[in-house]
Amino acid sequence: MRYGMGAEVLQDISFTLDPGSFHFLTGPSGAGKTSLLKLLYLAHRPSRGLVTMFGDDVTSAPRSALPRLRRRIGVVFQEYRLLDHMSAIDNVAMPLRIAGGADEAKIREHVEELLIWVGLKDRMHARPPTLSGGEKQRVAIARAVIAKPELLLADEPTGNVDPDMARRLMHLFVELNKLGTTTVVATHDLELVEEMGGAVMQLSAGGLTHSPASEGQIRNPHRPHKGLTP
């Protein structure tokens, strides 16, 4: 992968994510974590090589095919990318409304339950410009997981919250993973990675130095729960 005519920022990387696996993506700032995630959420095409997603080659897929693929992917962007003119509730409800099929009362109930669980009970009606970095991060995470996507990509999703909230948010990812969502969490919080014990892909200088461990299973799930929100 390269940006424009620049040098390659990722090269000779080869890996497979088994359906339902959980992986951390680690590496120092500038190692290429965000760039690799861009290839996976189809925001960027590789300058050479192949990306296969849900069994299909997406490298040469027409642009018109991308929205349908993206709807199967939940993304937590490093810079959140919330819609500033909408409340936290409406931002989080978006994937459910786009998917269609659920009635509005159900959507509301589901969204409010999740926002309460991530500690935003009193901020549900606020618009993103009035939220703190950590609050925006939690809205972005709620939006990414609400529709139970097949693939979840999270870019430094706990970078702006305290350690207790980081654990709570990781728990959400683990619960989603248990429901079958293939999960990749980019982070440089090695303490959290060690504590959670998932498979680790380590990037350095544009290369992948550690391939995913065979199963990609979380070793140390926190409290077990049936649903996404207890």
Residues that bind Mg ion (CB under 5 A): 33-34
Rounded to 5 degrees, φ, ψ at 26 are -120, 175
Distance CA 41, CA 198 (A): 21
Asked if 157 touches ligand ADP (CB under 6 A), the answer is no
Q: Which residue's Cβ lies closest to Mg ion?
A: 34
Asked whether the CA dihedral 42, 84, 26, 9 is positive or negative, the reply is positive
User: What, of Mg ion, ligand ADP, none, does residue 51 touch, CB below 5 to 8 Å by kind?
Assistant: none
User: What, of ligand ADP, Mg ion, none, does residue 216 touch, CB below 5 to 8 Å by kind?
Assistant: none
- In whole angstroms, how close is the CB of 48 to ligand ADP at the nearest point? 16
Tokens standing for residue 131 = 């939220």
User: What, of Mg ion, ligand ADP, none, does residue 30 touch, CB below 5 to 8 Å by kind?
Assistant: ligand ADP
Count of residues engaged in binding ligand ADP, rule: CB under 6 A = 11
State the binding string over 13-32 for ligand ADP (x if CB under 6 A, else -): --------------x-xxxx
- In whole angstroms, how close is the CB of 229 to ligand ADP at the nearest point? 29
Measured from the CB atom, the residue of 157 and 221 that comes closer to Mg ion is 157
- In whole angstroms, how close is the CB of 37 to ligand ADP at the nearest point? 8
Q: Which residues pair with 154 in a beta bridge?
A: 76, 185
C-alpha 170 chain-centroid distance: 11
Measured from the CB atom, the residue of 206 and 216 that comes closer to ligand ADP is 206
Tokens standing for residue 85 = 């003119």
Q: Which stretch binds ligand ADP (CB under 6 A): 3-11, 82-90, 123-131, 210-218?
A: 3-11
- Three-state DSSP string of 67-136: HHHHCCEEEECCCCCCCCCCCHHHHHHHHHHHHCCCCHHHHHHHHHHHHHHCCCHHHCCCCHHHCCHHHH
- Cα dist from 74 to 71, 114, 159, 195, whole Å: 7, 15, 18, 24
Measured from the CB atom, the residue of 94 and 166 that comes closer to Mg ion is 166
State the binding string over 32-71 for ligand ADP (x if CB under 6 A, else -): xxxx------------------------------------
**Contact by Cβ (8 Å): 127, 84:** yes
Residues that bind ligand ADP (CB under 6 A): 3, 6, 9, 27, 29-35
